[in-house]
Structure 1
Amino acid sequence: MTAKVLEGAGGKVAEQWISSLLTSAIVFWAGGLVAVIQRFGWQSFTDWFTKQPEPLQLALLVAVLGGAIASAAVVERFQLMALRGLEGYWHPILNGFKDHFTRQQIKAKGKLELQFQDLDNRPRLTSRDRQLRIKLDRQLNNFPVQDIDMMPTPLGNILRAAELRSLDKYGLDAVICWPRLWLLLPESAKADLQAARAELNAMARLWIWSWLFFIWAFWAWWALLIAGFSAWFAYHWAIAAAKTYGDLIEASFDLYRGLLYEALRLPFPKQADQEPAAGRMLTQYLWRGTLPESYQFIATSEISPVIDQ
């Protein structure tokens, strides 16, 4: 029994150790080491290292590994800031650039809408036209409905559109309702959302490390190529991860919004045309703690349709 337990614990420790090594931080520092060695020569480095006492060599290796892990923790602290920057939440001093790129996003959306309307106005569609219509519909789904809600970056528009869809369909403001709905979700739904969010955060960290990798260009020209490609790759992968994350948030409201009404002892609307008004009332209650004066809470077992206000 004890041997089996130790074997299992050792396996978990080994997995965690390997996982720690296979990080962007290790790649960053390894790339820096290669760049410095290329600049100053491998032989001079090995000669200096081998002349050091074994305890000092071991201490240097532990210090390098510890520094890599510590730097990974520091970068992780900035991942949310990087993600918000990629979304387009920029400092007011950059409002001129923000307005310019927002107009570009509005123009891109407008072109897609014109193509989509052109296909809709055709009496008959070929197979290729139908495929193009589906593609355009998916692309338009990555933009907010109203131009006033547009963000200056594709990533920002994908996440903004996901936030607004629950408001457009159900009257539920995702910014206000999501923390409450999250607590009510089943574990399987939470696991999928956590995995999608973890991938999005990982791409934000990779984007940071990619820009930091430009530092090694002082000693090796190829660092420019690696850093540029890595930053491009991280951003486009973040877009794909944001689409998945946004779809899961929308699906959570589609499937589990009734749990909010039940937990708050509010009646779930019976008819679809009543739901936006009921959702706005629920959002107002969560945000302000206010309900109509004549409103009375109901027992969970007595949930009934919303009465027209």
Structure 2
Amino acid sequence: MTAFLATLGGKLADTWLSLLVLPGLLYLAVMSAASVLGHGHAFDHGRLTGRIDTLAGGPAAHSPGSVVLVAALVLAASAGVSRLAAALGGGVERLWLGDWPAPLRPAARALTLRRVRRWITADDRYRQALTARALRAAADPLGVHVPEADEDVAPGTPRNEGAVDTVQLNEARNLIALTRPARPTWMGDRLIAADARVHESYRIDLTAAWPRLWLLLPDTVHQNVQAARAALTAAARRAAWGLLYLLPALWWWPAALIVAVTWAGAWRQGRLAVDEFAELVEAAVDLHGRDLANALGVPCEERLTTAEGLEITRILRKGA
């Protein structure tokens, strides 16, 4: 037990140092440097070192009690700023996933409608290309294309050159959303798409089925899903730090570069984490849906079909 408590204490100390103290100390350092340098002396390190020398030569710097008090205040402020970043990270995550508060809902509806129009246009182009390809295949079953007399074909042009690439059109549609958009953001629609795709394939209500399925999943799957979820939280917290750096950017312009780089990296990491999380959820249903059916008493000897999925949904919804 003593060894366990010592190990746990070490891990807590490492976590406290890496998540609370160090990012907060860096932020306080940037704030202090910004207040000294300003826009006009953005990279004047001599001005900064001069202020440090002045503080070091003051009487307070030679008093042990003052040094300890200042150090304690700095550590407390660092932890407080980090907790603020964590709280802001929760808000950033809600914005990314399209769960916007009431004052922003008109803007959310407008963005959602815009994304729906873009998705419908892309989907129509993709389906038209599929239809055109099917018609060409029906007219040319052997795959031999003979140009008409009045058809302008450049010498050396491949047979399918100029035909609409259905793969590219499908990718262009999926870049907007995998299914018809219902949220103002891609990340929000990516999670909704997982629910919609599972329901369309198996007729399973993923919202009701996931807690039960989670209890049946092996530890390795738990770890992978939790890691993807933690990556999203970390990305949102990093974006929150970017927002906090807007404050020193008001009087020290290089901080704006920190904002841009931090936010762009966090946004990219967040998209990857959401996509991985949604893929893992779908994969869990694909690979362990039969286990859920059998655990609920629904016979499923072979592959999971819509018949078993509908029965699972009926059981889990409890008549609702």
Q: TM-score range by the shorter chain?
A: 0.7 to 0.9
1:108/1:267 CA distance change after superposition, 3 Å: same
> How far has the Cα of 1:108 moved from its partner?
2.5
1:60 matches 2:60:
no
* Amino acid aligned to 2:244: L
Residue 71 of structure 1: aligned partner: 81
1:226 matches 2:225:
no
> How far has the Cα of 1:263 moved from its partner?
2.4
Q: Deviations over 1:175-207 (max 9, x none)?
A: 221122112111111111111111111111111
Deviation larger for 111-120 or 176-185: 111-120
Residue 213 of structure 1: aligned partner: 245
1:104/1:45 CA distance change after superposition, 3 Å: same
CA separation in 2, counterparts of 1:127 and 1:195? 44
Residue 29 of structure 2: aligned partner: 30
1:17/1:96 CA distance change after superposition, 3 Å: closer
Q: Deviations over 1:13-43 (max 9, x none)?
A: 8855763478644443332232123249522
CA separation in 1, counterparts of 2:316 and 2:9? 47
> How far has the Cα of 1:141 moved from its partner?
4.3
Residue 311 of structure 2: aligned partner: 281
CA separation in 2, counterparts of 1:239 and 1:26? 28
1:47 matches 2:47:
no
Residue 93 of structure 1: aligned partner: 103
* Amino acid aligned to 1:185: L
Q: 1:186 aligns with which of 202, 209, 218?
A: 218
CA separation in 2, counterparts of 1:270 and 1:13? 47
> How far has the Cα of 1:163 moved from its partner?
2.5
CA separation in 2, counterparts of 1:128 and 1:59? 74
> How far has the Cα of 1:257 moved from its partner?
1.4
Q: How does 1:235-246 map to 2 (within 5 A)?
A: 235-246=267-278
Helix, strand or coil at the partner of 2:245: helix
CA separation in 2, counterparts of 1:183 and 1:128? 52
1:191/1:271 CA distance change after superposition, 3 Å: closer
CA separation in 2, counterparts of 1:277 and 1:81? 40
1:13/1:249 CA distance change after superposition, 3 Å: closer
TM-score (norm. length: structure 2): 0.74
Q: Deviations over 1:266-297 (max 9, x none)?
A: 3237576xx3243233233223x349xxxxxx
Helix, strand or coil at the partner of 1:90: coil
Residue 209 of structure 2: aligned partner: 177
1:65/1:15 CA distance change after superposition, 3 Å: same
Residue 263 of structure 1: aligned partner: 295
CA separation in 2, counterparts of 1:118 and 1:27? 54
- The answer to whether the Cα contact below 8 Å between 1:102 and 1:152 also exists between their aligned partners in 2 is yes
Helix, strand or coil at the partner of 1:265: coil
Residue 307 of structure 1: aligned partner: none
CA separation in 1, counterparts of 2:8 and 2:234? 27
Q: Percent identity?
A: 25
1:248/1:30 CA distance change after superposition, 3 Å: farther
Residue 303 of structure 1: aligned partner: none
* Amino acid aligned to 1:88: G
1:235/1:48 CA distance change after superposition, 3 Å: same
1:26/1:277 CA distance change after superposition, 3 Å: farther
CA separation in 1, counterparts of 2:219 and 2:169? 34
- The answer to whether the Cα contact below 8 Å between 2:190 and 2:275 also exists between their aligned partners in 1 is yes
Q: 2:170 aligns with which of 117, 137, 140?
A: 137
> How far has the Cα of 1:250 moved from its partner?
0.8
1:110 matches 2:117:
no
Aligned-residue CA RMSD in angstroms?
3.6
- The answer to whether the Cα contact below 8 Å between 1:24 and 1:206 also exists between their aligned partners in 2 is no
CA separation in 2, counterparts of 1:49 and 1:279? 71
CA separation in 1, counterparts of 2:77 and 2:109? 40
* Amino acid aligned to 2:278: G
